[in-house]
Structure 1
Amino acid sequence: MTKDVIALTPKMPDVWTLLAGLHAGGPDLGVATDADGAVIQLCGPGGRPLVSIEAPILVHTPGETERLLGARPGDVPSAPLWWTEARASTAVPEAERLAGSFAGRLTTVLGGATWPPDAAHTAVVPLTSDITALTAAEDALPAVDVLTGSTAVVLTERPFVAMTAWLSDILSACADADKALQLVTPPHARLTLATRTALTGAPNRWVVQDKECGYYDGLSGAVLRWQDGTFAPVRTDDGVTVAASSFTQGGTTKERQLILSFSTRHTPDEQLVLGRALETAWQALTGCPPAGWSTAEPINLPWSTRQLTDLARHRAPSPTWLLAIGSPDRPAMATLRIIRTKDGVEEEITFVTGYGHDETPPLDAIEPLAETLATRHGLISLIASLRAGRRDLTVPPQLEAPPVPVAFALGPDGVSDIGLDHARRPPLNLRPVQLGPDTRPGLHYPLRDGTNAQAWDTLQQLTQHLRTP
């Protein structure tokens, strides 16, 4: 298991401050680098990494420490702040105190605070354990606690498990090695929306520790056992998966989430600016643009369509995956995947906003938004849905109701391919609304208000009709 200690400072940790922190273990420890120099490692004899230190991140986005660490506003510096993360291996007892000493030395010199608050100190931590047999494997994945032929297991105790840069690196390495990533957490942990998206579907899995059944899948509820080098579902004699009671007995919530999943297509040229469709949706549903964006959490950069376009252009023709976040008073988050296809440059966007029990989701804003996306931003298709879920958009390891669709929309290209007459006459009690001019229209299909799960049947019949000439 890795123990994380984070230094949150108002000033950038310079070279001399980092060197002072690296002397937390005295002169007997070695120093190495990983990830092309982006990670510094304190190593014991034999090269075994004890503490891995990420490059400091300047976080401009307000509310990120509260969102990811649960810290109160007065406990940490206000944004902008520097976020320096140290991960200690629990294979060696001294490693956690080494990470705490490193973070404590940074905040002593630069000011600020640490997370967890009681982890920081400035004492030298001598290495007394015999770790000569714990050498570092040349092909070891970063910060992985258990590695088998099929699975990489990461254990973490964070209250909110974010898609940090190091977790994203592990996920990418697992995909390249054709391995599953299984994330093990205590029962009180919750996932951020980005992490939940990354762990959705086989072979990756969220494994939750449980005092009654041992382990269960935090997204499906299936009881798990360690079998043949991986966590796998427990099944009855007739092959039925067993569900954990801790998962199914989760409390319901009156809070809700509005989910927009849509895609756009653009002609590639030098004047193309990406991210504007997402910005338009954000403005329409929240009244303000996104607050920040990044390739991982914490989301550290101020929102800029020009900068994210430059990154996507630099990475092309490889895909680019990005995150965006809203202001703390209106929880909203989005994932944006930019890909180059034979038809142009496409954006695949999932945008989620959270609402309290006394707040009304703006369902009436979806139709005019769909028209704007269809006429100005190259809309391919859009589906809007509503679900019961936490306003803060975190995911608990408990049963949550699936989303219910409230609207579906097709862009002009889709309507043209299907045929306008066919697309506007589904065999249902639906009256699609035309989006845009008669010469090149899109169509918006209002479904229900998000309270009746039969809307899924309606959507299925509609999509089947649209696929049938």
Structure 2
Amino acid sequence: MTKDVIALTQRMPDPWAVLAGLLSGGPDKLVNATGEGAVVQLCDEQGRPLVSVEAPMLIQVEGEAERLLGATPPRVPYWWTEARATTGVPDAERLAGTFAGRLATLSDGSAWPPEMARSLGVVRTDGVSVAPTPAAAQPAVDVLTHSVAVIIMDRPVVAMTAWLSDAFRGAAAAERGLQIVTPPGTTLSPAVLANMPGWPSRWVVQDEREGYYDGLSGAVLRWQDGMFGTLVSPRATEEDPTTPVAASYQEVVDTGERQLAVTFRTVHPADDRLVLGGALETVWRELTGGAPAGWGTAEPANLPWSPGRLTDVAHARSPEPTWFVVVGDPGRPGLATIRVSRTKAGVAEDVTLAFGYGAGEKLPLEALHRTAEALVTRHHLRSMLVQLRKARRDLLVPPRFEGPGVPLGFVLGAEEVRNMPDDRARRTPLAEQPLRLGPKARPGYYYPLSGDPSDLSGWSDFEQLMRHLKGV
């Protein structure tokens, strides 16, 4: 299985420290650069990548190493340098560990996982040569077939790293699915789940009893026709093509933990004075009492929260869309993803946000109406859905069944209300009438729905409301 080894250092690894780590591989190893110089590869004589090293990233956000690695990092700010060993190549894993260990020693830090960085000896070398372009230029991919790209990962949390982002883009460009294979103890970051494409992409979990199963659906899988596909039950019929569900996926215990999930869309007029991220910060402050802690274009989130800097990045990449991840303080788990895109109506922000709560913690349900009011009156809200889920406080996605959320409330912005005929937005078939938001001349509406995470009947009310609003 592929090993990711990470050096967490107090000082920025200088070029000599990186070179010393690379030379630990010995004189028969070659060095190549890819990704416009952002990735350095240690290759064999045939140009095959053995270890791929990402450019060091300065982490200025508390809690990211703990959240994604379970590791204790140096004090913030610190440097995060990833090395990825290639699957199936002898000694690649040892080379990655030696590189990270040497880098940590020279730059005042530690390596994760600790057992991978025990060998710090540097092999004497007569020099380094430039490697030819390797046959497998995508360092994140372990297996490539006509249908899918397969990534094998052995880390506690599969995060939306720069590696994985590149793999998603590469697979999409080649019209392939992306399948991520992990051991049973691994979890997914919600940021990965938000970007996971549809079939044949999937999260494949190794299992002692079943071999492999889908971590999101529980379906038992087998390698067939160049990809992991579902196993059809012997009892299946044409009318009922039953797929077996792994027993491990069904082993669920209710811990009393909950997640408050908020998804919303805003559309701002395109203006040079526009600052993005304000709607997300408003929701964060209303529901937690404080602002987000950090943000980035990949995980780990490395920059302190700054709507201005986030706007600068989105503006520089326009008209192409930009994706961001936003995290909260470790004391109140929170994670959001933002997709900024240009539309005919202006600049759209599509936000998915979740906060985690323990069994004894009170959820800020009384703040939902106030939050909706602020978005409608100050942030050009189009629509918002709030849900309550039985799910982990740390927000990570386990390879176990987690039931669907139930809708607590739906919000319609003033522009959407204005575009509806007659008085349709105010007069609904629901038993509880909506609450008006904003000025009477240009209102939005908050529609209260079910609040019991054990009662899925709220979805019936939500479906009825959607049919009514659409005039179906």
| Structure 1 length-normalised TM | 0.95
In 1, Cα distance between the equivalents of 2:434 and 2:425?
Answer: 9
1:161 corresponding residue in structure 2: 158
Q: Distance in 1 between matches of 2:79 and 2:50?
A: 23
Cross-structure match for 1:118: 115
Deviations 1:381-412 (A, max 9, x none): 00000001110001110001111000000000
Distance 1:380 1:356, change over 3 A: same
Name the CA shift for 1:264/1:433 in 2 (closer, same or farther; >3 Å). same
| Cα distance in 1 for residues equivalent to 2:77 and 2:163 | 22
Q: Which runs of 5+ in 2 are unaligned?
A: 126-131
Q: Deviations over 1:88-140 (max 9, x none)?
A: 1132221111111111111111211110112112124699xxxxxxx975464
Offset of residue 262 of structure 1:
0.3
Please give the alpha-carbon distance, in whole angstroms, between the structure 2 residues aligned to 1:190 and 1:279: 27
- Could you tell me which residue of structure 1 aligns to residue 461 of structure 2? 458
Contact in 2 for aligned 1:107/1:114 (Cα 8 Å): yes
Mark the CA change 1:181 to 1:125 in structure 2 (over 3 Å): closer, same or farther: farther
State how far apart, in whole Å, the 1-side matches of 2:37 and 2:427 are.
Answer: 59
1:63-142 matches, within 5 Å, as 63-71=63-71, 73=72, 76-120=73-117, 121-124=119-122, 138=135, 140-142=137-139
Amino acid at match of 1:382: M
Question: Judging changes above 3 Å, is the alpha-carbon distance between structure 1 residues 426 and 102 closer, same or farther for their aligned structure 2 residues?
Answer: same
Q: Is the 8 A contact 2:286 2:367 kept in 1?
A: yes
1:15 deviates by 1.0
Q: Which is further off, 34-43 or 237-246?
A: 237-246
- Give the CA deviation at 1:243: 0.8
SS of corresponding position for 2:19: helix
| Pairing 1:316-327 to 2, within 5 Å after superposition | 316-327=318-329
For residues 105 and 116 of structure 2, the distance between their equivalents in structure 1, rounded to whole angstroms, comes to 13
Separation in 1 of the partners of 2:351 and 2:278?
11
Mapped contact 1:98–1:125 kept (Cα < 8 A): no
Q: How far has the Cα of 1:199 moved from its partner?
A: 2.2
Q: 2:48·2:135 contact (CA, 8 Å) conserved in 1? A: no
The size of the alignment, in residue pairs, is 459
Per the alignment, residue 212 of structure 1 pairs with 209
Amino acid at match of 1:54: E
Counterpart amino acid of 2:331? D
Alpha-carbon distance in structure 2 between the residues aligned to 1:443 and 1:9? 50
What amino acid sits opposite 2:274 in the alignment?
Answer: L
Question: Which amino acid in 2 is paired with 1:111?
Answer: D
Cα distance between partner residues in 1 of 2:124 and 2:44:
11
Tell whether the 8 Å contact from 1:216 to 1:222 is kept in structure 2 after alignment.
Answer: yes
Using the TM superposition, give the Cα deviation of residue 423 of structure 1 relative to its aligned residue in structure 2, in angstroms.
1.1
One-letter amino acid of the structure 2 residue matched with residue 122 of structure 1: L
Letter in 1 for 2:22: L
Deviations 1:331-350 (A, max 9, x none): 00000000100111010001
Matched, 1:418 2:415: no
Identity among equivalent positions (%) equals: 54
Equivalent in the alignment of 2:128 = none
Q: Paired residue for 2:407, among 405, 409, 416?
A: 405
Quickly say closer, same or farther: Cα 1:311–1:423, change in 2 above 3 A: same
Q: CA deviation at 1:203?
A: 3.0
Counterpart in the other structure of 1:144: 141
Residue 36 in structure 1 maps to residue 33 in structure 2:
no
Which one of the candidate residues 287, 297, 300 is aligned to 2:299?
A: 297
SS at match of 2:355: strand
CA RMSD after TM alignment: 1.5
More deviation, 56-65/411-420 = 411-420
> In structure 2, what is the equivalent of residue 337 of structure 1?
339
Q: Secondary structure at the match of 2:402?
A: coil
CA distance in 1, matches of 2:219, 2:197: 14
Q: CA deviation at 1:28?
A: 1.9
Normalising to structure 2: TM-score of the pair?
A: 0.95
Higher mean Cα deviation, 115-124 or 302-311?
115-124
Q: Residue 131 of structure 1 aligns with which residue?
A: none
Deviation at 1:253, TM superposition (A): 2.5
CA distance in 2, matches of 1:455, 1:438: 28
| Distance in 1 of aligned mates of 2:134 and 2:104 | 33
Which residue is equivalent to 1:132? none
Select 2:434's aligned residue among 432, 435, 441: 432
5+ residue gaps, structure 1: 128-134
Mapped contact 1:387–1:450 kept (Cα < 8 A): no
Of 25-34 and 336-345, more deviation after overlay is shown by: 25-34
1:150 and 1:35 mapped to 2: Cα distance?
A: 24
- Whether 2:185 is the aligned partner of 1:188: answer yes
Contact 1:326 1:333 in 2 (8 A): yes
Q: Which amino acid aligns with 1:3?
A: K
**Cα shift readout 1:232-286 (whole Å, capped 9, x = no counterpart):** 1112331211111111122223100000000001000110000100010011111
Aligned partners of 1:403 and 1:227: how far apart in 2?
A: 34
Q: Distance in 1 between matches of 2:357 and 2:86?
A: 39
Quote the Cα distance in structure 1 between the aligned partners of 2:202 and 2:123: 36
